[in-house]
Amino acid sequence: MKYTGRFAPTPSGRLHFGSLVTALGAYLRARSLNGRFLLRIEDLDTPRCKSEYTASILRDLEILGFDYDEEVKIQSANTKTYEEAIGQLLASHQAFYCTCTRKSLKDHPCRCQHRFVRPDLRYSVRFCPSFTVDCCFEDILSGHVLTGKSTDYLQLKRSDGLIAYNLACVVDDHLDHITEVVRGSDLIAITPQQNALYRALGFAAPDYLHLPLVLNAQGNKLSKQNHATPVLEEMSPLDALLKALRFLGQDTTVFAERDFCCAQVLKLAAAHFDLQRIPVENRKPADQVYEKTAVRCGQK
Ligand SMILES: [Zn+2]
């Protein structure tokens, strides 16, 4: 199967440097293998996502020279597909209704699977596969990764009726024939459970390549939640691309020779892309990441 990669941002803010690094890593990996590259907007968390951010992310990526092999996919236009997948898991007893609240989960883990909960639209839906979930996976960059065992059940649908990130991204990666997922290492912890979800739905899981995270001065992941500055407000598109290339350990001396436009930089960077140069030392150990991002509500 032809290599197919993707970048899947959440439009809860403008593109920041951390997102650019992920977009660039995914793009270069795909293009360096003569593969396909897709863009998907993960806008299901409607209280956080705004259409103006979708527009600004699309515009910023265009300014930065990115191109895609298919029309941009918008998740909010596909909710029926996700509902069907949840229905399939409920029917095969690999999902259950849950009445737990964020507060109750702090006191005790969810036990709803073991008691009768009447199906109700106000309840969340959680995943419980009919087989044992691995607590490890193979990463293209890091090799064998141990994540530790999760005691939480992945949320598939939230009690407010919104489809959870984990379900939607698994369904879409399958439908889009994604062969390798390139993303930030904050999602390492969730990977075995996502793999289990692929299996439960009868899908083949993709390969994974987790990139080092861009951290702020406080050592936290650069994110919209901690008010990361939009990257194109901080610097020019060309400087942003070169900085992101250097973050990924790539050689940028070739770009000093003459003036390049962003699209030319991307093309040349793909031709010179060297996976082995991506630094791994600033990545937190997987178990630490696991502790920090322990699967609770199925949100990013
Ligand atoms: Zn529960």
Has this prediction a pTM greater than 0.85?
A: yes
| Rounded distance from Cα 266 to ligand 1 centre (Å) | 46
Domain 4-292: homologous superfamily in CATH: HUPs (3.40.50.620)
Which residue ranges make up each domain of the chain?
Answer: 4-292
Lowest mean per-residue pLDDT among 100-104, 210-214, 221-225: 221-225
In one letter, which amino acid is 180? E
Average pLDDT in the 45-57 region? 95
**pLDDT score, position 212:** 93
pLDDT tens digits for range 103-147: 988 898 888 988 777 777 789 999 999 888 889 999 999 999 998
| Rounded distance from Cα 83 to ligand 1 centre (Å) | 19
Phi then psi for 230, rounded to 5 degrees? Answer: -55, 130
**pLDDT score, position 124:** 94
| Rounded distance from Cα 135 to ligand 1 centre (Å) | 22
**pLDDT score, position 289:** 43
Is residue 297 pLDDT above 50, yes or no? Answer: no
Ion ligand 1 — residues with CB under 5 Å? Answer: 98, 100, 110, 112
**pLDDT score, position 276:** 94
| Rounded distance from Cα 90 to ligand 1 centre (Å) | 15
| Rounded distance from Cα 218 to ligand 1 centre (Å) | 34
Is residue 227 pLDDT above 90, yes or no? Answer: no
Structure tokens belonging to residue 105: 């989960």
Phi-psi region of 2 (alpha: psi -120 to 50; beta: other; left: phi over 0): beta
| Rounded distance from Cα 179 to ligand 1 centre (Å) | 33
β-sheet bridge partners, residue 96: 126
Average pLDDT in the 183-191 region? 93
Q: Predicted confidence band at 21 (pLDDT cuts at 50, 70, 90)? A: very high
